[in-house]
Amino acid sequence: MKKIVSFLRWEFKGCTRSLSFWGAMVVVLGIVMYLTGCPKPWPLVTIVAGFVMNFVDLVYSFVKFRVAMYKLDQESVARKLREQ
């Protein structure tokens, strides 16, 4: 049991600093609001806000990845030019 707890602690270490984590928690909150009978517009607004948070994080991560690929390509070109 201790190994499982250690694994879970390692797996989710730092997840609270992720916008995707908080977006997922907002979606779960919206679902709980819906299931408990909260007035109608608020659960949907909450769920949509969570999905928007996840989408913003997705776009940010994609742009960050593409910038890293660009830098890697530039370094590769510079390395090839130095070798010639």
Average pLDDT over residues 8-16: 86
Residue 10 lies in a domain: no
- Write the pLDDT tens digit of every residue in 68-81: 999 999 999 999 99
- For residue 43, being part of any structural domain is answered with yes
Give me the number of domains the chain comprises: 1
Does residue 8 belong to any structural domain of this protein?
no
What's the CA gap between 9 and 22, in Å, rounded?
A: 18
Domain that holds residue 57: 15-83
Residue 1 counted as domain residue: no
What's the pTM?
Answer: 0.77
Q: What is the pLDDT of residue 14?
A: 84
Look-up of token digits 């949907």: 44
Asked, for residue 21, whether it belongs to a domain, the answer is: yes
37: left (phi over 0), alpha (psi -120 to 50) or beta: left
pLDDT digits (tens, 9 = 90+) for 19-75: 999 999 999 999 999 999 999 999 999 999 999 999 999 999 999 999 999 999 999
